[in-house]
A and B are shown apart, each in its own frame.
Chain A
Amino acid sequence: MSGLKINWKITTLLILGTLFILFPLYLTIVIAFKTPEEMGGNLLALPESWSFDNFLTAIEVTNFYQSFFNSLIVTVASVVMAILIHSLVAYAIARNIHKKFYKFLYIYFISAMFVPFPIIMLPIVKQTSFLGMDNLLGLAFLTIVMHLALNVFIYVGYVKTIPIALEEAATIDGASTWTTFWKIIFPLMTPMHATVGILTALAAWNDFMLPLIVLSDESQYTLPLVQYAFQGQFSTNYNLAFASYLLAILPMIIVYIFAQKWIIGGVMRGSVK
């Protein structure tokens, strides 16, 4: 377009636009630090003092460390299982897509994208509880089941671009299919592992509906579910509520600040596929 000249008009517009993005976050921070007495004044003003009392209360009342830990377990377990299981499935499908069975399997898995969750919702409540899976482990399993379609789709698209000659060479050297996968293909899929890992992690960390339906024990609640469960206690104290919200979104924000280039790159890579 206009060569190297910086377009200041667009830059200004975009900077103004970020106000819409940042305003709710600003509000959250300000209210989280205020005392209930300050709420009568200007809501948007800065707090009179930056006291951490609300946060300490919120940590204690909502049992923050426990729920943070719960969220972490589910997220880590989901990501690890997604990367291991989904990449295997995608590899097997991509290399055998000419066979009827694998073609069918691919369509079968992908069609899950069109199944609305509500039809699974009610039976899954019964089933997870019947199988003793109404806990964090069950939640992690369900998370990877629900993300199977998308992740396999992303992986298959990528595996197709890996030349088959590499594997043939390995086979001639006497490597088994498993060894070929772990030694050659799995490392080559690293860019997609990042993408799948990021998408699964964000989904698992922020999910509300699945934990709401699956988890039966309050001590296993994840961070978003805790915010829901504590609405009653928060009712009379917005400052406590917002301190708790801020605590709940803070871990992701911190991760994002340090890894934003990587996260954005990962998500974009997934979308070009």
Chain B
Amino acid sequence: MKAKKDRAFLWMVVPAFILFFAFHTFPVLQGVFFSFTDYKGYGSWDFTGLKNYFNVFQDTRALSAYGFTFQFAIIATILVNIISIFIALGLNANIKFRKTLRATYFIPYILSVLIVSYIFRFIFTHVLPDIGSSLGIEAISTNILGNPDLAWIGIVILAVWQAAAFNTLLYLAGLATIDQQVYEAASIDGANAWQTFWKVTFPLVAPFFTINMVVAMKNFLMAFDQIVGLTGGGPGTSTESISLLIYTSGLGGGQFAYQSANAVIYFIVIVVISVFQLRVLERREAK
């Protein structure tokens, strides 16, 4: 009886395990394997040892992709979370049309990032400069996506527009867990809105804040669709994310092996960051 039960459980996980191993773990191993070769993705190849790894560390294009990706991910993560908290607080207050407003703020999440990026590219290229020059605002009268120093801002704006929807919902779920009595106690103590937020609300949604930061950061570190749609990595290579670099050079540049090495390094970086974030999270929960 017991054995039969165990066997049933085993059969429940075996198909998924096979699928997962074949299409997740095995490709990862392949990637690691080829990172020690000079494989182009086709034709013949040789082992080259650690050469690819040494080259990645001297590759200005790769390094600038790391720089851009982290700058973008950190800024977008912070902005998304701040904006989402405030929208969530607003939606959680005693307001009219709550359902409709909540539904509207969630719309961006159901749209394809790539298509939204194309729409935003049009806004940055045509609509904003038009408005800018008719209002005489020099700063936005040219296309910011064409300026290597400003193009990343366009990507951040799009990313925040898109990601705030989901994060707002997560915060709303967090706010819903707070007992109304806590607020009543705070208002009896004479706390103003600002104090209530910092002293009461924020500590209670803090666990959500940490999780949201980790999840949003991880998503932004993978940024691909937004960049393909808005800038294609340009001008120059100023908005090239790591995912985009690995895709375009790994497949388009015939650098399969070299970019695999880059991907392995990226993997290690992500793991280190995740472990670090989890440590911080654990410490906070222990408090």
Do the two chains bind? yes
> How far apart sit A112 and B25, CA to CA, in the bound complex (Å)?
9
**Within the assembled complex, what's the spacing in Å between the Cα atoms of A110 and B274?**
13
Segment among A49-57, A60-68, A72-80, A258-266 that sits at the interface with chain B = A258-266
| Closest chain A residue to B243, Cβ basis | A118
Task: Please pick, from A15, A21, A92, A95, the residue contacting B108 in the complex, using a CB distance under 8 A.
Answer: A21
In angstroms, Cα B274 to Cα A252, docked, is 33
Asked if B155 lies at the interface with its beta carbon under 8 angstroms from chain A, I say no
Report which B residues bind A (CB closer than 8 A): 4-5, 8-10, 12-13, 15-17, 19-20, 23-24, 26-28, 30-32, 34, 41, 87, 90-91, 93-97, 99, 101-116, 118-120, 122-123, 126-127, 130, 161, 166, 169-170, 172-173, 176-177, 180, 183-184, 187, 218, 221-222, 224-225, 228, 242-243, 246-247, 250-251, 256, 259-260, 262-264, 266-267, 270-271, 274
Contact A206:B130 (CB < 8 A) given known A8-B96, A119-B260, A122-B256: no
Interface size on A, residues (CB 8 A): 91
Roughly how many angstroms separate A53 CA and B268 CA in the complex, as a whole number?
52
Query: Are A15 and B267 in contact, with the CB atoms below 8 A?
Result: no
Q: Return the 9 tightest CB-CB contacts between A and B, nearest first.
A: A177-B8, A123-B30, A123-B27, A119-B263, A92-B12, A206-B112, A118-B246, A88-B12, A11-B95
- Are the C-beta atoms of B95 and A256 separated by less than 8 Å? no
| A119 B267 Cβ-Cβ under 8 A | yes
Q: List 23 A-B contacts (CB under 8 A).
A: A1-B94, A17-B87, A18-B101, A18-B105, A24-B119, A28-B119, A92-B10, A93-B13, A105-B17, A118-B242, A118-B250, A119-B264, A121-B243, A121-B247, A122-B256, A125-B251, A127-B26, A206-B113, A206-B114, A228-B114, A256-B103, A263-B110, A271-B169
- Determine the main DSSP class of A at the interface with B: helix
Asked if A6 CB lies within 8 Å of chain B CBs, one says yes
Task: List chain B residues, Cβ under 8 A from A115.
Answer: 24, 28, 267, 270
Neighbouring A residues of B183 by C-beta, 8 Å: 1
With the chains together, A95 CA to B91 CA distance in Å? 38
B103, B250, B266 — most chain A CB neighbours (10 Å): B103
CB-contacts of A226-254 with B (<8 A)? 227-228, 238, 241-242, 245, 248-249, 252-253
Are B110 and A202 interface neighbours, CB within 8 A? yes
A sample of 5 more A-B contacts (CB under 8 A), given A17-B105, A260-B103, is A21-B161, A24-B120, A115-B267, A122-B34, A224-B114
Check B264–A6 contact: CB distance below 8 A: no
**Is there an interface contact between A256 and B263, defined as CB atoms closer than 8 Å?**
no
Known: A43-B126, A105-B17, A249-B111. A124 touches B119 (CB 8 A): no
Contact residue among A4, A43, A95, A112 (Cβ-Cβ distance under 8 Å from B20)? A112
In the complex formed, the residue of A with least CB distance to B271 is A114
The answer to whether A2 has its CB under 8 Å from any CB of chain B is yes
Q: In the complex the two chains form, what is the Cα distance from A114 to B221 in whole Å? A: 11
| Residues of B with C-beta under 8 A to A44 | 127
Q: Is the CB of A145 within 8 A of B95?
A: no
In the bound assembly, the distance between CA atoms of A213 and B24 in angstroms comes to 15
Contact status B119-A261, CB under 8 Å: no
Q: Which residue of B lies closest to A178 (CB)?
A: B8
Instruction: List B contacts of A121 (CB < 8 A).
Output: 243, 246-247, 250, 263
How far in angstroms is the closest Cβ of chain B from A232? 13
Find out whether the CB atom of A96 lies under 8 angstroms from the CB atom of B173.
Answer: no
- Asked if A268 and B271 sit within 8 Å, CB to CB, the answer is no
B116 touches A24 (CB 8 A): yes
Knowing A109-B20, A253-B110 are in contact, say whether A120-B31 is a contact too (CB < 8 A): yes
Nearest chain B CB to A245 CB, angstrom units: 5
**A192 sits at the interface (CB 8 A):** no
Query: Nearest Cβ distance between residue A179 and chain B, in whole angstroms?
Result: 10
Q: Of the candidates B41, B106, B184, which one forms a contact with A260 in the assembled complex, judged by CB atoms under 8 Å apart?
A: B106
Q: Which of A1-28 contact B (CB under 8 A)?
A: 1-8, 10-11, 13-15, 17-18, 20-22, 24-25, 27-28
Q: Are A208 and B246 in contact (CB under 8 A)?
A: no
Q: Which residue in B41, B107, B246 is a CB contact (below 8 Å) of A256?
A: B107
Name the CB-closest residue of B to A25: B107
Tell me the nearest residue of chain A to B120, going by C-beta.
A24
